[in-house]
Chains A and B, each alone.
Chain A
Amino acid sequence: QVQLQESGPGLVKPSETLSLTCTVSGGSISTYYWNWIRQPPGKGLEWIGYVYYSGSTTYNPSLKSRVTVSVDTSKNQFSLKLTSVTAADTAVFYCARGRTSGYPSDAFDIWGQGTLVTVSS
């Protein structure tokens, strides 16, 4: 079955760029929409953005100026970059799959385990 695994630095300095990768195993990255979601410690969930296997993207308007999501189909991976981070960006970051192949507006049926990224000097 399809599994997702996030990877990247667990500590990022203020004003720098947070970079994470999600590796898709057990299935192809093609035809689905792939999402990033974050959850500050003890708080709720916030959708960050998605990428389609073709490379098209959509971002949360509140984060759009700082976010880039990209896909590498040859590696079955997609990635997140968040620039100019502050302590408020400290969170567990999850990658997740849109439930229906080829359909952007859907629930998320498969999630990675999450990775904590702390923004601190």
Chain B
Amino acid sequence: DIQMTQSPSTLSASVGDRVTITCRASQSIISWLAWYQQKPGKAPKLLIYKASSLESGVPSRFSGSGSGTEFTLTISSLQPDDFATYYCQQYNSYWTFGQGTKVEIK
């Protein structure tokens, strides 16, 4: 099994802040990584696929980078709508998700 570990688990930030979330894989997943945003009571929403490709309709303040075992999701300027939980997901071998990072208001 490929394990995905996100850090931090919780992040307190203010509107306008630059925010970075890290995701580490237990073995190389090349670039087969996605990022999702989930709000309470809602389904996850795809933000980034193949580590750095922005899904259609997603604001350009979201970006992804990394390869192999270490990946990051960056929000360049946090907006009120961005307070949510973020999950990484590998799809190199089956599919597994990180435990989530909750971005909360500071």
Contacting pair B94 A107 (CB below 8 A) = no
B79 part of interface (Cβ distance < 8 Å): no
Contacting pair B43 A94 (CB below 8 A) = yes
Contacting pair B98 A106 (CB below 8 A) = no
A52 part of interface (Cβ distance < 8 Å): no
Known contacts A105-B32, A106-B49, A107-B91; decide if A44 and B43 are in contact (CB<8 Å): no
A28 part of interface (Cβ distance < 8 Å): no
Contacting pair A111 B43 (CB below 8 A) = yes
Q: How far is the CB of B20 from chain A (nearest CB, A)?
A: 20
With contacts defined as CB atoms under 8 Å apart, how many contacts are there between chain A and chain B in the complex? 50
Known contacts A99-B46, A107-B49, A109-B55; decide if A45 and B97 are in contact (CB<8 Å): yes
- CA separation between A60 and B91, bound complex, in Å? 12
Binary contact readout B43-60 vs A (1 if CB under 8 angstroms, 0 otherwise): 111100110000100000
Known contacts A107-B89, A109-B55; decide if A45 and B44 are in contact (CB<8 Å): yes
Contact pick for B34, options A35, A58, A107, CB 8 Å: A107
A26 part of interface (Cβ distance < 8 Å): no
A32 part of interface (Cβ distance < 8 Å): no
Contacting pair B91 A105 (CB below 8 A) = yes
Residues of A51-108 contacting chain B, CB below 8 A: 58, 60-61, 94, 96, 99, 105-108
A114 surroundings in chain B (CB, below 8 A): 42-43
B49 surroundings in chain A (CB, below 8 A): 99, 106-107, 109
A111 surroundings in chain B (CB, below 8 A): 43-45
Contact pick for A107, options B1, B46, B99, B100, CB 8 Å: B46
- CA separation between A46 and B97, bound complex, in Å? 7
B1 surroundings in chain A (CB, below 8 A): 61
Known contacts A44-B98, A45-B97; decide if A105 and B92 are in contact (CB<8 Å): yes
B65 part of interface (Cβ distance < 8 Å): no
B87 part of interface (Cβ distance < 8 Å): yes
Interface positions of B (Cβ within 8 A of A): 1, 32, 34, 42-46, 49-50, 55, 87, 89, 91-92, 94-100
4 smallest beta-carbon distances between A and B, as pairs: A107-B34, A111-B43, A47-B95, A107-B49
